[in-house]
Structure 1
Amino acid sequence: MTSTAFRIGGDLTIRRLGFGAMHLPTEPVQARETSRAVARRAVELGVTLIDTAYLYGGGANEKLLAEALHPYPDGLLITTKVGVARSGPAGEWKLDGRPAVLREQVERALLRLRVERIELLQLHRIDPGTPLADQVGTLRDLRDEGKIGRIGLSEVGVDELDEAREIVDVASVQNRYSLLDREHEPVLAACEAAGIAFLPWRPVAWGESGTNAEVAAVAAEVAATPTQVALAWLLGHSSVILPIPGTARIDHLEENLAADRLELAPAQRDRLDRLSEVA
Structure 2
Amino acid sequence: MTNTEISTRPVRQTFSIGGDLTLHRIGYGTMRLADTPDTKPADAVIWRAPTPRSAALDVLRAAVEHGVQLVDTADSYALGGGEELVAEALHPYAPGVVVATKVGVTRPSPSEWIPVGHPAYLRQQAELSLRRLRVERIDLLQLHRIDPGVPLADQIGALKQLQDEGKVRHIGLSEVTVDELRQALEIAPIASVQNWYNLAARQHEPVVDFTAEHGIAFLPFFPIAVGGHAGEGGPVSEVAREVGATPAQTALAWLLHRSPNIVPIPGTTSAKHLVENLGAAAVELSDEQYARLDGIAAAEAAAEVEGVAEGV
TM interval, shorter chain, is over 0.9
Correspondences of 1:153-232 after superposition (within 5 Å):
153-205=173-225, 208=228, 210-211=230-231, 213-232=234-253
Query: 2: distance between equivalents of 1:277 and 1:249?
Result: 32
Correspondences of 1:95-174 after superposition (within 5 Å):
95-174=115-194
How far off its partner does 1:25 sit? 2.7
Residues 267 and 91 of structure 1: CA distance in aligned 2, closer, same or farther (over 3 Å): closer
Alignment partner of 1:205: what SS? coil
Query: 2: distance between equivalents of 1:47 and 1:238?
Result: 19
Percent of aligned pairs sharing the same letter:
54
Letter in structure 2 aligned against 1:106 = A
Letter in structure 1 aligned against 2:84 = K
How far off its partner does 1:278 sit? 2.9
Letter in structure 1 aligned against 2:23 = I
How far off its partner does 1:93 sit? 3.9
Residues 9 and 150, structure 1, Cα contact 8 Å, conserved in 2: yes
Residues 209 and 142 of structure 1: CA distance in aligned 2, closer, same or farther (over 3 Å): farther
Most deviating of 68-77 and 23-32? 23-32
Task: Look up the match of 2:34.
Answer: 25
Which of 269, 283, 290 does residue 269 from structure 1 map onto?
A: 290
Query: 1: distance between equivalents of 2:194 and 2:273?
Result: 22
Which of 5, 21, 24 does residue 15 from structure 1 map onto?
A: 24
Letter in structure 2 aligned against 1:103 = R
Residues 120 and 148, structure 1, Cα contact 8 Å, conserved in 2: yes
Query: 1: distance between equivalents of 2:228 and 2:98?
Result: 29
Residues 231 and 243, structure 1, Cα contact 8 Å, conserved in 2: yes
Query: 2: distance between equivalents of 1:179 and 1:102?
Result: 33
Residues 76 and 107, structure 2, Cα contact 8 Å, conserved in 1: no
Residues 19 and 92 of structure 1: CA distance in aligned 2, closer, same or farther (over 3 Å): closer
Which of 13, 23, 30 does residue 4 from structure 1 map onto?
A: 13
Alignment partner of 1:120: what SS? strand
Unaligned runs of 5+ in 1: none
How far off its partner does 1:29 sit? 7.5
Query: 2: distance between equivalents of 1:167 and 1:64?
Result: 33
TM-score where L is the length of structure 1: 0.95
Residues 30 and 161 of structure 1: CA distance in aligned 2, closer, same or farther (over 3 Å): closer
Residues 25 and 32, structure 1, Cα contact 8 Å, conserved in 2: no
Is 1:251 the counterpart of 2:260? The answer is no
Query: 2: distance between equivalents of 1:26 and 1:78?
Result: 21
Residues 207 and 227, structure 1, Cα contact 8 Å, conserved in 2: no
Task: Look up the match of 2:103.
Answer: 82
Residues 204 and 190 of structure 1: CA distance in aligned 2, closer, same or farther (over 3 Å): same
Task: Look up the match of 1:61.
Answer: 82
Alignment partner of 1:59: what SS? helix
Query: 2: distance between equivalents of 1:140 and 1:30?
Result: 36
Residues 110 and 26 of structure 1: CA distance in aligned 2, closer, same or farther (over 3 Å): farther
Residues 209 and 227, structure 1, Cα contact 8 Å, conserved in 2: no
Residues 30 and 98 of structure 1: CA distance in aligned 2, closer, same or farther (over 3 Å): closer
Unaligned runs of 5+ in 2: 1-9, 37-48, 302-312
Letter in structure 2 aligned against 1:263 = E
Letter in structure 2 aligned against 1:43 = V
Alignment partner of 1:57: what SS? helix
How far off its partner does 1:36 sit? 0.4
How far off its partner does 1:30 sit? 5.4
Alignment partner of 1:130: what SS? coil
Alignment partner of 2:77: what SS? coil
Over the aligned positions, Cα root-mean-square deviation in angstroms equals 1.8
Residues 91 and 39 of structure 1: CA distance in aligned 2, closer, same or farther (over 3 Å): closer
Residues 18 and 245, structure 1, Cα contact 8 Å, conserved in 2: yes
Residues 33 and 55 of structure 1: CA distance in aligned 2, closer, same or farther (over 3 Å): same
Query: 1: distance between equivalents of 2:80 and 2:187?
Result: 28
Residues 10 and 248 of structure 1: CA distance in aligned 2, closer, same or farther (over 3 Å): same
